[in-house]
């Protein structure tokens, strides 16, 4: 009998190390479910070719593959220095202003972002160069900030600036992002990841442009986003715990608890959540991860995250396929641990009093009582499959849909094996197709039950209201 796929999914970032068809196909065979196109790097033509190769790999492998477009978002940076940089001494005074004509030195540098000055107040912190340097604002105005160096070091040209204590009056969508968004939607990407989210309105602004053409992933990397977590979760389709910038703007010791809080909140609502950044960072150069990295991945799986993500490991690393294969083995080993199921059960929350949630809860209850080989969600929008995934059942979930776009989006959902299928005429036709599909899956067992959920009438988004139990007939022995 073949081993069914892992429940948790893998998001792999494409880049110079992994953008040829052979490598993309190998990444998918090793366990990648979703491919991330990072629009902070590469040209439109680079990304066009990558997406074409993903679709070619999808056809060759005969299963849906998701594509996530990650928008760069606003980049806040200091100006240039006369000597390419300056050493800022602990305790020294340092000025930031809007004068871009003057090159910087150890006393001042330009900060060409009036929106930052508009949000500053005395006592606020400014973090420079990914948090390596820290300033405290002593006095500020509409075009300047007089600061004191709390943690010094060398500050180079165009290094980044973070404002952890303030909500900046800027849009999460820059002109570059808007151009990238239009380009990506034209290509047919499945998910859009929005960087620098601070408030629910950022997601709503993106939704107004995207409509139903792609799902939206809110990247949570700002303290303001954590403060507005409930409001953001109410309007987004999925979430990414972007621990890189989050770890810059918040004390490192707070990030693990925030990660668990976000994962739990997303699980309660049944919205996919990705844990990202530095998961197997050492595999950028080394063929194996550190033990700490292995434990980090396992922690996300024990918590019930829908997906874990690889960034530089697959985009620019020396061992992209090995990194995905290692991630897949870590997931499989963790999910095989009895403590994994115990952890999922212990962290499970009651569903909301909604019909779709009730159907998902009922499917899980049936699966806990009967010998269930598979749960089947026949869905146009993907909602039925997501309601099942929310319950984290033991049995695999077949997300059957006549909509190719929906099948590709479901590649991000925990435990869901997307199946692009024909449309059905009625409930009996749906049941027959569900049984036929379940019988063709790895590990299928004759005589077991199949729990089927759908929405009536067919084709009505968000109408999950039907639950049916059927039995697989006798099946030929699996030669594997």
Q: What residues are labeled active site?
A: 36, 77, 219, 277
Dihedral, CA of residue 309, residue 315, residue 318 and residue 324, to nearest 10: 30
Q: With contact defined as beta carbons under 8 Å apart, do 252 and 285 qualify?
A: no
The candidate with the shortest Cα–Cα distance to 107, out of 141, 148, 139, is: 148
| Element (DSSP H or E) covering residue 435 | helix 427-439
Residue pair 77/159 in contact by the 8 Å Cβ criterion: yes
246: left (phi over 0), alpha (psi -120 to 50) or beta: alpha
Contact (Cβ atoms closer than 8 angstroms) between residue 266 and residue 272 = yes
Task: Tell how many helices (H) and how many strands (E) occur in the chain.
Answer: 17, 21
Q: What string of DSSP letters covers 333-358? A: HHHHSHHHHHHHHHT--PPPSSHHHH
Query: 337: which 2 tokens?
Result: 């641990």
CA distance 263 to 240: 9
Cα distance between residue 111 and residue 161, in whole Å: 9
Looking up tokens 């590709």 gives 408
CA dist 469 and 330 (Å) reads 33
Distance CA 8, CA 289 (A): 19
The tokens describing 263, both together, are: 């994962």
For the CA atoms of 59, 61, 65, 67, what is the dihedral angle to 10 degrees? -70
- 63 token code pair: 């299963």
């Amino acid at each position: 009998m073949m081993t069914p796929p892992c429940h948790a999914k893998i998001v792999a970032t494409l880049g110079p190390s992994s953008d040829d068809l052979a490598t993309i196909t190998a990444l998918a065979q090793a366990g990648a479910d979703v491919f991330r196109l990072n629009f902070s790097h590469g040209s439109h033509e680079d990304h066009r070719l990558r997406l074409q190769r993903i679709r070619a790999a999808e056809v060759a492998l005969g299963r849906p593959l998701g594509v996530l477009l990650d928008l760069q978002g606003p980049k806040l940076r200091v100006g240039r220095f006369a000597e390419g940089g300056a050493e800022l001494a602990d305790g020294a005074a340092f000025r930031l202003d809007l004068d871009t004509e003057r090159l910087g030195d150890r006393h001042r540098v330009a900060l060409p972002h009036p929106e930052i000055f508009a949000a500053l107040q005395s006592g606020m912190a400014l973090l420079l160069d990914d948090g390596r340097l820290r300033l405290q604002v002593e006095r500020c105005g509409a075009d300047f900030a007089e600061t004191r160096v709390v943690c010094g070091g060398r500050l180079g040209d165009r290094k980044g600036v973070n404002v952890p204590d303030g909500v900046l009056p800027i849009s999460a969508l820059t002109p570059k992002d808007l151009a990238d968004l239009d380009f990506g939607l034209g290509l047919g990407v499945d998910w859009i990841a929005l960087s620098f989210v601070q408030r629910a309105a950022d997601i709503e602004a993106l939704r107004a442009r995207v409509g139903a053409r792609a799902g939206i992933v809110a990247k949570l990397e700002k303290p303001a986003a954590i403060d507005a977590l409930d409001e953001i979760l109410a309007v987004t389709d999925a979430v990414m715990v972007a621990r890189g910038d989050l770890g810059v703007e918040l004390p490192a010791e707070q990030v693990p608890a925030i990660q668990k809080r976000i994962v739990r909140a997303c699980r309660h609502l049944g919205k996919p959540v990705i844990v990202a950044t530095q998961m197997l960072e050492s595999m950028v150069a080394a063929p194996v991860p550190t033990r700490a990295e292995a434990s980090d991945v396992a922690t996300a799986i024990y918590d019930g995250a829908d997906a874990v993500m690889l960034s530089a490991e697959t985009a620019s690393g020396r061992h992209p396929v090995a990194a995905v294969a290692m991630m897949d083995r870590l997931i499989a080993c963790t999910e095989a641990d009895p403590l994994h199921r115990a952890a999922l059960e212990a962290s499970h929350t009651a569903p909301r009093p909604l019909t779709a949630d009730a159907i998902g809860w009922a499917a899980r209850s049936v699966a806990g009582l009967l010998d269930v080989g598979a749960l089947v969600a026949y869905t146009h929008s993907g909602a039925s499959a997501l309601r099942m995934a929310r319950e984290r059942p033991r049995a695999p979930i077949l997300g059957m849909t006549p909509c190719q776009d929906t099948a590709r989006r479901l590649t991000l959902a925990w435990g869901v094996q997307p199946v692009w299928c024909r449309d059905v005429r009625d409930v009996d036709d749906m049941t027959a197709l569900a049984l036929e599909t379940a019988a063709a899956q790895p590990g299928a067992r004759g005589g077991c039950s199949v729990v089927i959920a759908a929405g009536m009438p067919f084709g009505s988004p968000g109408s999950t209201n039907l639950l049916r139990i059927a039995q697989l007939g006798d099946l030929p022995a699996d030669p594997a």
